[in-house]
Amino acid sequence: MTTDQTPPAYPFEHPGSLDMNPLYAELRERTPLARVRMPYGGEAWLVTRYEDIKRVLADHRFSRAATLGKDVPRVLPTIPTARSIVTADPPEHTRLRNLVSKAFTAERVERLRGRTQEIATELIDRMVEQGPPVDLVQAFSMPLPVTVFSALLGVPLEDRDRFNHWVDAIRTIGSLTPDEVELARRELDAYLAGMVAQRRAQPTDDILGALVAARDDQDRLSEEELIIFGVTLLIAGSDTTVNQIGNFVYTLLTQPEALSLLREDRSLLPGALDELLRITPMGTTAGVARIATEDVELAGGVVRAGEAVFVRIASGNRDRTVFDDPDTFDMTRDPNPHIAFGFGVHYCTGAQLARMELEVALGSLLDRLPGLRLAVRPEDVTFKHDRLLQGPWSLPVTW
């Protein structure tokens, strides 16, 4: 930290690999409510302790909707304007979530499990046919979620490269201009508008078709809400899983003792998945702001009405007051109350889908490639640190 009164610049410098900047641990211990300078919009508060993070996520006095159309502190240059389930507050958020839940059911996710397993098997078959070494990102962790989401939304497979380009552009920090990011967003919106119009005319059984058909006391999602939710699904769903498959495989392949136990006892996989979710930072930053609508007291001080607050969920998952030896990977950890999928009203809508995909991905690799290992030194694997979500650019493996 700086020794003067100047708040440190945020995001903090990335230490490399999947590590977290040690400043987060220092803030948890000494300054749990810390002032930081954001790249755009001025200064904000950063919350790093587990209980405070849960408080901010669950307390309706911290508003997401209050950020819309305003030059609030933020990581990305674009001022947020899109109203969606992610940026709404109750009661609007409650309305949207009720409608979305009618389409995003556990039954629908489970119906996808068989297809997800088929896709994973086909991808590994191709890897085996090609022979090692292969780049697991290109051969497996990227095509698996993208293909699953194509099936989920009803997107033709031949369009997945365009989707990858649009999603990647929207998630980029700094390496594209605001105009380039905005163009990608407009093109994606236009494509999804066409898909929504098709499903209005000809109903389908995919989730976008189910969202078009969703009703609640004669209420329904508007065209704009459908398009925005489609974008949210693509970015928050496929992109996160692409990166986390690579992150999780990298972590397991650099934890030989844990990997050996997991190979011998597959019943450990659910616990391993929870521990991977806890210890692996999905994002490179604290994400998006919440604005206090009145004064709220947290452990480290008071957030005044109108001030912006960011929460670093990955820091909360390393809080030693909640997790023993928090920087150690322990797949037998029990209990494991991680908040990787969020907390409160904004708990991830697609958490069941993400868990299913990750279980199938890791289980398939363990079953089919028991000798899977890195084909390069761990330090030679490079990660995306200029994106909102981090993951390996490539992951050379052999078996």
Which pLDDT band, with edges at 50, 70 and 90, does 4 fall under? low
79 neighbors 347 (Cβ within 8 angstroms): no
Q: What is the DSSP string of 297-366?
A: EETTEEEPTT-EEEE-HHHHTT-TTTSSSTTS--TT-SS----TT--GGGS-TTHHHHHHHHHHHHHHHH
pLDDT in tens, 118-172: 999 999 999 999 999 999 999 999 889 888 877 777 777 788 778 767 877 776 6
Euclidean distance between CA atoms 386 and 384, whole angstroms: 6
In the chain, what is the straight-line distance between the N-terminal and C-terminal CA atoms, in Å? 43
- pLDDT given at position 171: 65
- pLDDT given at position 216: 60
pLDDT in tens, 162-218: 876 787 777 665 567 778 888 888 898 898 889 888 888 888 888 888 888 877 666
> 265, exposed or middle or buried, with CB in 10 Å at 0-12, 13-18, 19+?
exposed
Cα angle for residues 313, 351, 91 (degrees, 5° grid): 80
What's the residue count for the chain?
399
Helix, strand or coil, per DSSP, at residue 86:
coil
Phi, psi dihedral angles at 310 (to 5 degrees): -120, 145
Asked whether residue 63 carries a pLDDT value surpassing 70, the answer given is yes
Asked whether residue 385 carries a pLDDT value surpassing 60, the answer given is yes
Which pLDDT band, with edges at 50, 70 and 90, does 223 fall under? confident
Nearest to 301 by CA among 9, 47, 39: 47
35 neighbors 43 (Cβ within 8 angstroms): yes
State the residue for tokens 């969020």. 342
pTM value surpassing 0.75:
yes
Euclidean distance between CA atoms 17 and 26, whole angstroms: 20
State the residue for tokens 């970015």. 235
